[in-house]
Amino acid sequence: MTFTAQILTLYPEMFPGPLGTSLAGRALEEGKWSCNPIQMRDFATDKHKSVDDTPAGGGAGMVLRADVMASAVDHAMERQPDAPILAMTPRGKPLKQERVREIASGPGVTILCGRFEGFDERIFDARPIEEVSIGDYILSGGEMGALVLLDACIRLLPGVMGASSSGDDESFETGLLEYPQFTRPQKWEGRIIPEVLRSGDHAKIAAWRKQKAEEDTRLRRPDLWEHHRDAPDQSPSSARGQKKEDRS
Ligand code: SAH
């Protein structure tokens, strides 16, 4: 099955962009996902093809018109009725790995990219759109956010990552940051790889990694740590089991 990405944007030439190279680029060539950027301006109805207008109540910048956005969204919904529709906006729910996994396990996604001051708020009332933020900072447009979301989804599609298990251990998959990684040379600028990682004792290595993952999460991301500590069971196997159930 091909995961279909529809991107509603004023800059369709930005896609696939960096997703045309490396892991995602190869997957695109192999038909594991398809990239369909759609020019939002094509849905404008006046002779100037305008998609934006001045903000009601005054102020700087321009706002994307709800009527034009709705026509573009309706077109995308007709083409792909089963895909969730996400709008990129700093006012949205912060994107998390759990949501990325859900989207990647579905038929695809439609992404609405904002520009200027963003969207006329009424569009979110009138259409089934999920507002998503990729972090607490302001981009100049939603396209970079769309690329981030798609990159996160594509690496999870079946057969895209080299080793099929390599996604399960990553940061956030178990509610923790990943343990620190090392590689050769064993000694570099006087710094030596932790002894335990050279021991060959797999149980000891696993215990050390678990302890480091917990310690680093506690120190670096107290927000994640608090959540993890309060959750009933966060072992990797149970977390995966839960997600599998959710997907079916
Ligand atoms: N006036 C808006 C920001 C507009 S930035 C505000 O203050 O909330 C222009 C567009 O860039 C937005 O419509 C959105 O599509 C995109 N964008 C900017 N920051 C983003 C973020 N953190 N997450 C997702 N999209 C973002």
**What is the CATH number for 248?**
1.10.1270.20
Q: Are residues 23 and 146 in the same domain?
A: yes
Average pLDDT over residues 209-232: 95
Tell me the C-alpha distance between 7 and 105, whole Å.
18
Q: Are residues 17 and 88 in the same domain?
A: yes
SS3 23: helix
Cα of 221 from ligand 1 centre, angstroms:
25
Question: Ligand 1: which of 11, 51, 65, 88 to mutate, most ligand atoms within 8 Å of CB?
Answer: 88
* CA distances from residue 122 to 107, 119, 127, 173 in whole angstroms, order as listed: 27, 8, 9, 35
The residue written with tokens 């903000």 in the block is 55
Of 100, 132, 154, the domain-final residue: 154
What beta strand segments (E) does the chain contain?
3-9, 33-39, 52-53, 63-64, 85-94, 108-112, 129-133, 187-188, 191-192
Q: What pLDDT, on a 0 to 100 scale, did the predictor assign at position 246?
A: 38
Residue with CA nearest ligand 1 atom 18: 139
Of residues 103 and 174, more confidently modeled: 103
Q: Are residues 125 and 188 in the same domain?
A: no
What is the reported pTM?
Answer: 0.92
Of 109, 134, 154, the domain-final residue: 154
Indicate whether 195 belongs to any domain: yes
Cα of 3 from ligand 1 centre, angstroms:
25
pLDDT class of 239 with cuts at 50, 70, 90? very low
CB-side neighbour CA atoms (13 Å) of 83: 24
Of 100, 133, 154, the domain-final residue: 154
Number of domains observed in the structure of the chain: 2
Name the residue range of residue 238's domain: 165-248
The yes-or-no verdict on residue 162 having pLDDT over 90 is no
* Residues contacting ligand 1 via CB (< 6 Å): 88-91, 113-115, 117-118, 133-135, 137-139, 141-142, 145
Average pLDDT over residues 76-104: 98
Q: What pLDDT, on a 0 to 100 scale, did the predictor assign at position 241?
A: 40
* CA distances from residue 242 to 5, 21, 61, 117, 173 in whole angstroms, order as listed: 26, 33, 45, 39, 12
Q: Which two tokens stand for residue 247?
A: 């997907």
